[in-house]
Amino acid sequence: MTTTGSPGRSSLRRREALWGYFFLAPFIAGVLIWQAFPLLLSLYHSFTDYEVLTPPKWVGLRNYERMIGDQLFWTSLANTIIYTVMSVAIFMVFALGGALLLNAKVRGIRIFRVVTYLPSQLPIVASAFIFLWIFEPNFGVANYLLSLIGIEPQRWLFDPVLAKPTLAIMGIWGIGTGIIIFLAGLQGVPESLYDAAKVDGANATRQFLHVTLPMISPVLLFNLIIAIIGSFQVFDLAYLMTKGGPGTETLFYVLYIFRNAFELFKMGYASALAWVFFLVVLLLTFLNFRLSRRWVHYEVDVR
Cα–Cα distance, 83 to 236 (Å, whole number): 14
Average pLDDT for the chain: 91
Give the pLDDT score at 4. 52
Helix, coil or strand: residue 281: helix
User: Is the pLDDT assigned to residue 228 strictly greater than 70?
Assistant: yes
Give the pLDDT score at 123. 86
- 134 and 279 housed in the same domain: yes
Mean pLDDT of 134-162: 92
Residue 64 lies in a domain: no
pLDDT band for 25, please (50, 70, 90 cuts): very high
- 126 and 168 housed in the same domain: yes
Summarised one tens digit per residue, pLDDT across range 163-173 is 999 999 988 88
- 102 and 160 housed in the same domain: yes
- 178 and 34 housed in the same domain: no
pLDDT above 90: percentage of residues in the chain: 77
- 43 and 78 housed in the same domain: no
Give the pLDDT score at 13. 87
Residue 2 lies in a domain: no
- 152 and 255 housed in the same domain: yes
- 139 and 249 housed in the same domain: yes
- 51 and 182 housed in the same domain: no
User: Is the pLDDT assigned to residue 27 strictly greater than 80?
Assistant: yes
Give the pLDDT score at 7. 66
Mean pLDDT of 32-59: 94
Residue 65 lies in a domain: no
- 45 and 151 housed in the same domain: no
For residue 35, give its domain range: 7-58
- 157 and 238 housed in the same domain: yes
The mean-pLDDT minimum among 45-49, 80-84, 193-197 falls in: 193-197
User: Is the pLDDT assigned to residue 174 strictly greater than 70?
Assistant: yes
Give the pLDDT score at 300. 63
User: Is the pLDDT assigned to residue 5 strictly greater than 70?
Assistant: no
Query: Looking at the 3D structure of the chain, how many domains does it have?
Result: 2
Mean pLDDT of 38-54: 94
Residue 299 lies in a domain: no
- 120 and 39 housed in the same domain: no
Domain of residue 192, CATH code: 1.10.3720.10
pLDDT band for 124, please (50, 70, 90 cuts): confident
- 26 and 147 housed in the same domain: no
Summarised one tens digit per residue, pLDDT across range 242-275 is 999 999 999 999 999 999 999 999 999 999 999 9
- Indicate the pTM of the whole model: 0.89
Mean pLDDT of 234-249: 92
Residue 99 lies in a domain: yes
Give the pLDDT score at 2. 47
The mean-pLDDT minimum among 105-109, 144-148, 205-209, 210-214 falls in: 105-109
User: Is the pLDDT assigned to residue 193 strictly greater than 80?
Assistant: yes
Residue 297 lies in a domain: no
Give the pLDDT score at 74. 97
Give the pLDDT score at 36. 93
Give the pLDDT score at 52. 86
